[in-house]
Structure 1
Amino acid sequence: MRRLTILAALAMATVPAAAWAGSGITGVWATGSEGGKVEIYRCGSALCGKIVDASRLRANPDLRDLRNPDKSLRNRKLKGLVVLRGFKGGPTEWKGGPVYDPESGDGAATGYLTLRGDGKLEVKGCKAAIFCRTKVWTRAK
């Protein structure tokens, strides 16, 4: 029995962190700002992401998308707001878009998701090939 335990431990040590991320990138991720959490989930044949939590939302669950440059969208609730849409690829890199940041009201037509070897997720939004912004998310506990 002890030999089996040692073999299992050795096998686990050789598996990349990305493989231990459960079901790839689906699940809840901490965005690193304002206590934000985004759930990445399957939406048809692609992946999407929606806001599920933030410190401001805990204080006021009825917060709206007030920073959106499109005035007609400013009445949308932040909780449940889809901020990532149409990502395809895998197992460690996905491309899609649009990507939306409700903190700033900035959006990008094209986005990239990269699951790093350390288990963190790089979320990159690009307005043009050279105008990109990247944030690093960690899997929520």
Structure 2
Amino acid sequence: MKKLMLSCMAMLLSLAVFAQSNDPVIGKWENSSKEGRIEIYKKGDKYFGKLYWIKDASKKDVNNPDEKLRSRNIQGLEILTNFTKKGKTYEGGEIYDPKSGKTYSCKMTPKGDKLEVRGFVGVSLLGRTEVFTKIK
């Protein structure tokens, strides 16, 4: 009986590890300027990211185009929304830039402990890439 339970536990653990490796984007990431940290998670079949830490936690969303939202804190904002996994990339989502108050189309490509996050307008050729580093 003990052997059966150990086998079941080992199988569940290996499934958990396998599931994690299928979603390398899930986890905590630090932006290149080291001013912010984003936690990426999955809700249903979509991926989202929340700005869970910023250097200045009192900073407000003063550049938001919606005046009603300008008094909210930037820390805690969901800035990555509605990504779908397509092969090795995550696309079809948007990224909100609290520094400018603008929202851009976005795609993310994990590369080991790095995450290339490309925000763009229209086509991805017209954009900018930021590289996040996985927090261990």
- Asked if these proteins are the same fold (TM beyond 0.5), I'd say yes
2:81 aligned to which of 58, 82, 85: 85
Q: Scaled by the length of structure 2, what TM-score is found?
A: 0.75
Pair 1:111-2:110 in alignment: no
Greater fraction of residues in strand: 2
Q: Which residue of 1 aligns with 2:98?
A: 102
Q: Which residue of 1 aligns with 2:51?
A: 51
Q: Is the 8 A contact 1:24 1:91 kept in 2?
A: no
Instruction: Quote the offset at 1:64 in angstroms.
Output: 1.8
Instruction: Quote the offset at 1:76 in angstroms.
Output: 2.4
1:121 aligned to which of 106, 115, 124: 115
What is the identity, as a one-letter code, of the residue corresponding to 1:136?
V
Instruction: Quote the offset at 1:33 in angstroms.
Output: 2.3
Identity percentage of aligned residues: 34
User: For residues 56 and 22 of structure 1, what CA distance do their matches in structure 2 show?
Assistant: 34
Aligned residues: 116
Q: Measured at CA, do residues 31 and 22 of structure 1 come closer, stay the same or move farther in structure 2, by a change above 3 Å?
A: farther
Instruction: Quote the offset at 1:54 in angstroms.
Output: 1.2
Matches within 5 A, 1:53-72: 53-57=53-57, 60=58, 63-72=59-68
Aligned-CA RMSD value: 2.1
Q: Which residue of 1 aligns with 2:12?
A: none
Q: Which runs of 4+ in 1 moved over 4 A?
A: 20-23
User: C-alpha offsets along residues 100-120 of structure 1, whole Å, 9 cap, x if unaligned?
Assistant: 111232321x2100012x421
Q: Where does structure 2 lack aligned partners over 5 or more consecutive residues?
A: 1-19
Q: Which residue of 2 aligns with 1:8?
A: none
Q: Scaled by the length of structure 1, what TM-score is found?
A: 0.72
Q: Which residue of 1 aligns with 2:135?
A: 140
